[in-house]
Amino acid sequence: MAQKPLIKEKALDRYDALAAAIIFAAAMVLYVRTLAPTLLLGDSGEYQVLAYTLGLAHPTGYSILVPLLKLVTLLVPVKDIAYRVNLASAIFAALTLALLYLLGNLLGGRRLPALLGVAALGLYHLFWWHAVIAESYTAASALLALVLVLVVTWCKTKNAWLLFWAGLAGGLALGIHTFVLLAAPAVLVYLACTARRLKDWGLAALGALTGAALALGSFFALNARSVPSSFIEQIAPQAAAWGMTAQEFNSPVNRLVYLMGGKQFQDQMFVNSIDKMSRKVDEYYRATQHDLPTLILWLAGLGLLLLFVYKRPGERRRWPEALLLLLSMAAMLVFIVNYNIGDIYTYYIISYIPLMAAAAAGAAGLVDLLDWGIEKITSASNSSEGAVASLSPSPAPGEGAGGWRSSLAFWLSGIAAAALVAALLWVIVLPSAKTVDFSWRLHRITFLDGTDFAGYPYPVTQPDWPHNQAEAIVAQVEDGSILFTGWDILYPVFYLAEVEGRRPGLLAHEQYPAGSDGRLTSTAIDYIQANFGKRPIYFTQIDEDLAQNYNFVAVDSSIPLYRLEKR
């Protein structure tokens, strides 16, 4: 008897869209329930301010993400601006999970197994943490998942316009998170293996150029606004740290090169020895093994293997998809092990998108194996009955056993698949059950309690601390004053000054930005001297070099806060 295809290769349909919508809604319920309620420190505070004032963020500028955050604050008018920007991260996280479901379904060809990667990523502590605070990583994850969904759907449907939209999304990565661009070589290899029409390549290139143009256009538009809270404006006094005069730093092109090129952090990139890279690979492996269910890693390995070697009857070979996932992960890992910033672990979030998709393909392969076993059993039974039936008169139409046995096989396959996926989901979800319960009841994430990450950028047990600390500073400085402070509290101060309108004209600057070697540069000292006597100038840390010619008079030793005065 000819073997029937286990499952037909298909693109997505309305049932997949419905399932994705349900996943999005379920994720939103969890993330909104545990959302950070107010103002945050560091990068998170920066996004909360810039979503209101519309300026450029720290390298690489995030020229598309900032307007997107602004859009969320306008479309979702709940509570205050800080809360809405936190909410934007939850929206991007839920969208990531919905897209990951679609990607897993496309790769594995089955709906239920695609839930495994969704559950593992959605409950992954690092992802969940960044889903409830203002940050860029859930937006970047959603963007990467979208690109992968679009190119794989194109391969199934050959609708060339899908490549235009994939290219557009990829180009926009310049303004959302450039780490996503590391998947571009993998996408190009995928197209080289599957695209045979000039139209496909042309629309993909057009989309990429359009997205890049939008990102660059938004960059120059945000730079032209010159709002005081824009990263590029508050960092300008330290221009000498990067070999520029104040005038040179004002050039839009120089600012583009500085931010997009990550000049502030270039000395941390691709300087590692082979031995250090090996240690960082080991760190990545250990973190992955510790933070993700072991089952997911086994399923991902199985998924990649099956995509390379297994072909369902009636379907094309799927090794290009295996290359797409594998090369994406490899490129991201190469960058991760060659970048020495302290929070490099946050990049793991984006790198796990292909991993979770591979896990869904692996789970789908296990379901295929179940189907194969059930089909073999029912086929053998049918063959035995067929031999007996050949010695008897032919049954009337509709009275044969083959029909009900085929129906039985169908139901057995469905029940077995559901049971298998349920068991795998249980293994994945069970370790997080207590955390979900505690976090749900306390209305906040609880897995950071007692760790080194419980205070920054979101003080989970003291959520009002950033606002209170900024208020203590803002209450003691005058309108139009200048403040030099640390990165952690810089943007909470800007939030009170600009978003809440508490200190009109306040100019705040990071005292010792990355690249300044912990000293005020010559351009910063020139800036201070030019404004001394015209504006009150405050510091939250005494600068030893400046103290040789100026007095740091304590205004409030509990903050601490010092007013600069001439000796």
pLDDT at 462: 96
**C-alpha pair distances (Å), 182 with each of 103, 351, 559:** 19, 10, 42
pLDDT at 414: 82
**C-alpha pair distances (Å), 312 with each of 146, 278, 379, 445:** 26, 38, 18, 43
**C-alpha pair distances (Å), 26 with each of 33, 36, 102:** 11, 18, 16
Query: Beta strand 507-510 with 550-556: parallel, antiparallel or unpaired?
Result: unpaired
Alpha helices in 54-131 (DSSP H): 65-75, 81-108, 114-123, 125-131
Residues 162, 16 contacting (CB under 8 angstroms) = no
Other beta carbons within 10 angstroms of residue 205's beta carbon come to 14
Beta strands in 430-519 (DSSP E): 482-485, 507-510
pLDDT band at 398 (very low <50, low <70, confident <90, very high): very low
For residue 280, which of 326, 327, 347, 226 has the smallest C-alpha distance? 347
Distance CA 183, CA 519 (A): 38
pLDDT at 267: 83
pLDDT digits (tens, 9 = 90+) for 168-199: 999 999 999 999 999 999 999 999 999 989 99
pLDDT at 53: 97
**C-alpha pair distances (Å), 285 with each of 291, 292, 336, 337, 348:** 10, 11, 12, 11, 10
pLDDT band at 1 (very low <50, low <70, confident <90, very high): very low
**pLDDT for residue 4 is more than 60:** no
Q: To the nearest 5 percent, what fractions of the chain are helix, strand and coil?
A: 65, 5, 30
**pLDDT for residue 3 is more than 80:** no
**pLDDT for residue 393 is more than 80:** no
pLDDT digits (tens, 9 = 90+) for 443-495: 999 999 999 999 999 999 999 999 999 999 999 999 999 999 999 999 999 99
Interval 88-107 mean pLDDT: 98
Length in residues, the chain: 567
pLDDT digits (tens, 9 = 90+) for 361-391: 999 999 998 888 887 777 765 555 554 444 4
Distance, C-alpha 97 to centroid of its chain: 11
Q: Which residue, chain included where needed, has tokens 């306040």?
A: 506
**DSSP character for 393?**
P
**DSSP character for 432?**
G
**pLDDT for residue 567 is more than 70:** yes
pLDDT digits (tens, 9 = 90+) for 413-447: 888 889 999 999 999 999 999 999 999 999 999 99
pLDDT at 378: 72
Other beta carbons within 10 angstroms of residue 337's beta carbon come to 20
**pLDDT for residue 329 is more than 50:** yes
pLDDT at 8: 42
**pLDDT for residue 405 is more than 70:** no
Residue 1: partners with Cβ closer than 8 Å, 6 or more residues away: 379, 382, 383
And the tokens for 115?
A: 């839930």
Residue 13: partners with Cβ closer than 8 Å, 6 or more residues away: none
Residues 40, 82 contacting (CB under 8 angstroms) = yes
Computed over every residue of the chain, the mean pLDDT equals 92
**Range 429-444 burial, b when 16+ CB lie within 10 A, else e:** beebeeebeebeeeeb
Interval 83-111 mean pLDDT: 97
**Range 210-219 burial, b when 16+ CB lie within 10 A, else e:** ebbebbbebb
Interval 59-80 mean pLDDT: 97
